[in-house]
């Protein structure tokens, strides 16, 4: 593969990658597992951009509320483990090697207000680990912030580690940043931990989101609701791997994506139910609308189930607007174009939740009023 | 001039002939009830009138306010004052009932060349109407019909009827699935709508609705054709004897 092999050779692996970590990443880059999940996105280009981009060394966040502490990985006696599968996510190893030491946000008490962590649109950010202590709850808000008008490249790794009975709500938004971006969200949930995810926004760049949620402890729960409007030739590629590794784990995922104009969106949702996960309950729904004939949608449900005692629903649809609903609106006096706009907007808004919902709804509405 | 004139209408649904030589005339100020067995073509007639895609007029005439309806777009029919209360109102998540109602009303005003009503004034009117129909105004914030019970959906149809003030209301089984209170509320709504200037086509299976809304004429539809017409006593006969006598 035509990646900057030389740059790769000279990279130094951070301690958490372990001996031979980078070698493994290099090998995985050419492997089948990675090739399959990069079917619709240019892996060599992204790898090269990752190698060429500037790095961010500064702390990811300013003042923190009481009970929450910020540490650099290399200041800690024992460097934390991120639990990222480098065979699946070799870019994570490269990004971490580029950006140097990562940052740990240690949540030992439930903070009184949400943690706002800006996500720089440009450059490679050091990995950020948010560790939530048992029975604590944290809300994290992360908006991609465009720092310059020059289209460039950004990379970001966020790892959430939820102890037993803890709760986290991660809300992320982007409003048409111009820089291309790769990001990985990795989460590990212990017994009865609960994670809520909301990702929403407008995408007019290249955005690749890798998401790996490991429901590791008995009764751990994931609820994810998201919506994206992909416009102006944008390319959205979402790759989810949800692992039900213990019994009684629950996942609920709803993602509504709309491809307008000559844009493309890809969604690959894989539910993996491990042998020991009796009583696991998974429900994934991905709906896509292709508004124009030149828009492209790829969606692929994937199920891997190694236990008979599970409930699993997986739906992926690509479609046009519902004819019944169109007629209902027209029968009330709305012209066909207005009816289409309203239904498209409704489809997107149906995938909104969390603190950015209102702004996302406004951004969607703006698209349809200017269109 | 009649409000609605249907003359020798033949119509097909997806190529299947359903309505066969149907004629009907509704004058302003009149309420006509249409009854008939399941599958006799009642909803087909309603949908043909509203201009639903896939419902094709193959022969005959339909005119509304002296304008031929065939080839008129559904939204233009609505703007001209034709309203269909759906037998199965559609759920539209993500579009709030209020914004839907406002968009519908604005389209009517725009068609008349009028200025849009202020959002505040309209919302006040919509909330008051909802309350009068036994719908909590909170329903206006929810997605259109989203998660509404059967009865709530039907009340919502009547809410739209009263807000849009059409000239002809076609109500397709708006009474089906309603409890006694809801039935009275819906009937009161229709009676409130009723005036010397407008007309109602009431599709129903039940005589009990006609105790609350007294029709001027009752028609029996069978196999796509009106086979009997009469006054309100015809509905009572149907209630007592069913439809068996149609084929006898
Ligand atoms: N999309 C369609 N394609 C083919 N046939 C259809 C379609 N829709 C309706 N029909 C047929 O047209 C006939 C009339 O249906 P319609 O819905 O008008 O009956 P109805 O009188 O309203 O019945 P109900 O009392 O059950 O509501 C039925 O035989 C039905 O199966
Ligand atoms: Mg019917």
The per-residue pLDDT of chain B, averaged, comes to 94
pLDDT at A165 over 70: yes
| CA dihedral of residues B126, B131, B135, B138 (deg, nearest 10) | 60
| 8 A C-beta contact, residue A273 and residue A241 | no
Cα(A141)–Cα(A129) distance, integer angstroms: 14
A74 touches chain B (CB under 8 A): no
Stretch (H or E) spanning A224: strand A221-230
- Ligand showing the shortest atom-to-Cα distance for residue B86: 2
pLDDT at A332: 98
pLDDT at A150 over 90: no
pLDDT at B141: 95
Q: What is the mean pLDDT of residues B182-200?
A: 94
- Could you say which DSSP state residue A309 is in? S
| Strand duo A137-145 + A115-116: pairing | parallel
pLDDT at B179 over 80: yes
- Compute the distance from residue B165 Cα to the ligand 1 centre, in Å: 28
B86 exposed, middle or buried (CB, 10 Å; 0-12, 13-18, 19+)?
A: buried
Q: List Cβ<8 Å contacts ≥24 apart for A24-28.
A: A24/A86, A24/A87, A24/A90, A24/A93, A25/A86, A25/A90, A25/A91, A25/A92, A25/A93, A25/A94, A26/A90, A28/A86, A28/A87, A28/A88, A28/A90
pLDDT at B170 over 60: yes
Estimate the crossing angle of helix A323-330 against helix B97-111, to 10 degrees: 50
- Compute the distance from residue A309 Cα to the ligand 1 centre, in Å: 42
Q: Rounded to a whole number, what is the distance in Å from the CA of B238 to chain A's nearest CA?
A: 32
Give the global pTM: 0.92
Q: Phi first, then psi: what are they for B214, rounded to 5°?
A: -85, 120
The pLDDT tens digits of the residues spanning B60-107 come to 999 999 999 989 999 999 999 999 999 999 999 999 999 999 999 999
B74 touches chain A (CB under 8 A): yes
Q: What is the mean pLDDT of residues A85-105?
A: 89
Structure tokens at B11: 């119509």
pLDDT at A52: 87
- Compute the distance from residue A89 Cα to the ligand 2 centre, in Å: 56
Q: What is the mean pLDDT of residues B156-166?
A: 96
A328 touches chain B (CB under 8 A): yes
The pLDDT tens digits of the residues spanning A217-260 come to 999 999 999 999 999 899 999 999 999 999 999 999 999 999 99
Q: Which of these ranges, A69-78, A150-159, A322-331, A356-365, has the smallest mean pLDDT?
A: A150-159
B114 touches chain A (CB under 8 A): no
CB < 8 Å from B in window 288-327 of A: 322-325, 327
Nearest protein CA to atom 29 of ligand 1, as residue: B39
> Which atom of ligand 1 has the smallest separation from the CA of B47?
18
| Residue numbers in A near B170 (CB within 8 A) | none
pLDDT at A263 over 90: yes
| E strand map for B65-120 | 67-68, 82-85, 92-96
Nearest protein CA to atom 24 of ligand 1, as residue: B38
The pLDDT tens digits of the residues spanning A77-91 come to 888 888 999 999 999
CA distances from residue A300 to A39, A88, A238, A267, B219 in whole angstroms, order as listed: 12, 18, 11, 7, 53
| Residue numbers in B near A335 (CB within 8 A) | 75, 107
**Chain B residue with Cα closest to A337:** B75
Q: Which of these ranges, A76-80, A200-204, A362-366, B116-120, has the smallest mean pLDDT?
A: A76-80
- Compute the distance from residue B227 Cα to the ligand 1 centre, in Å: 18
Return the sign of the alpha-carbon dihedral for residues A94, A96, A97, A99. Answer: positive
């Amino acid at each position: 593969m035509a990646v900057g092999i030389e740059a790769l050779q000279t990279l130094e692996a951070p301690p958490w990658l372990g001996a031979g970590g980078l070698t493994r990443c290099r090998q995985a880059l050419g492997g089948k597992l990675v090739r399959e999940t990069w079917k619709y996105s240019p892996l060599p280009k992204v790898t090269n951009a990752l190698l060429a981009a500037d790095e961010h060394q500064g702390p990811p966040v300013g003042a923190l509320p009481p009970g929450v502490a910020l540490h650099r990985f290399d200041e800690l006696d024992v460097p934390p483990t991120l639990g990222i599968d480098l065979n699946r996510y070799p870019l994570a190893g490269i990004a971490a090697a580029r950006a140097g030491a990562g940052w740990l946000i240690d949540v030992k008490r439930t903070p009184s207000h949400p943690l706002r962590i800006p996500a720089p649109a440009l450059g490679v950010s050091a990995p950020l680990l948010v560790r939530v202590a048992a029975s604590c709850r944290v809300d994290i808000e992360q908006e991609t912030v465009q720092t310059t008008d020059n289209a460039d490249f950004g990379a970001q790794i966020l790892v959430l580690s939820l102890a037993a009975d803890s709760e986290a709500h991660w809300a992320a938004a982007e409003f048409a940043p111009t820089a291309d971006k790769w990001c990985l969200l990795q989460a590990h949930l212990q017994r009865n931990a609960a994670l809520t995810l909301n990702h929403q926004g407008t995408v007019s760049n290249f955005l690749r989101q890798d998401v790996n949620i490991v429901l590791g402890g008995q009764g751990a729960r994931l609820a994810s609701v998201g919506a994206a409007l992909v416009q102006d030739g944008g390319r959205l590629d979402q790759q989810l791997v949800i692992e039900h590794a213990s019994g009684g784990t629950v996942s609920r995922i709803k993602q509504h994506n709309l491809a307008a104009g000559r844009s493309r969106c890809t969604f690959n949702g894989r539910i993996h139910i491990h042998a020991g996960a009796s009583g696991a309950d998974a429900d994934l729904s991905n709906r896509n609308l292709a508004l124009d004939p030149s828009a492209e949608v790829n969606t692929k449900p994937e199920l891997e189930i190694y236990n008979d005692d599970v409930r699993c629903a997986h739906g992926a649809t690509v479609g046009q607007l519902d004819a019944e609903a169109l007629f209902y609106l027209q029968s009330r006096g709305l012209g066909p174009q207005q009816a289409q706009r309203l239904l498209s907007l409704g489809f997107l808004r149906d995938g909104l939740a969390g603190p950015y919902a209102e702004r996302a709804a406004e951004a969607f509405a703006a698209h349809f009023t200017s269109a | 001039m009649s409000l609605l004139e249907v003359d020798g209408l033949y119509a097909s649904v997806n190529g299947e002939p359903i309505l066969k030589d149907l004629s009907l005339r509704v004058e302003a100020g009149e309420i006509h009830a249409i009854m008939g067995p399941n599958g006799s073509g009642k909803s087909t007639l309603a949908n043909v009138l509203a201009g639903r895609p896939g419902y094709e007029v193959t022969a005959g005439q339909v005119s509304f306010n002296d304008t031929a309806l065939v080839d008129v777009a559904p939204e233009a029919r609505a703007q001209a004052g034709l309203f269909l209360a759906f037998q199965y109102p559609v759920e539209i998540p993500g579009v709030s009932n209020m914004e839907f109602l406002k968009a519908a009303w604005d389209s009517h005003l725009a068609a008349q060349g009028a200025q849009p009503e202020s959002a505040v004034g309209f919302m006040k009117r919509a909330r008051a109407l909802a309350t009068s129909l036994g719908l909590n105004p909170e329903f206006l914030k929810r997605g259109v019909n989203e998660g509404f019970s059967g009865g709530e959906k039907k009340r919502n149809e009547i809410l739209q009827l009263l807000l849009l003030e059409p000239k002809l209301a076609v109500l397709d089984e708006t009474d089906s699935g309603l409890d006694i209170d809801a039935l009275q509320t819906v009937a009161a709504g229709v009676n409130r709508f009723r005036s010397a200037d407008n007309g109602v086509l009431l599709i129903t299976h039940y005589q009990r609705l006609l105790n609350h809304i007294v029709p001027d004429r009752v028609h029996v539809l069978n196999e796509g054709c009106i086979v009997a017409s009469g006054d309100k006593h015809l509905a009572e006969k149907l209630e007592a004897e069913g439809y068996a006598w149609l084929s006898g």
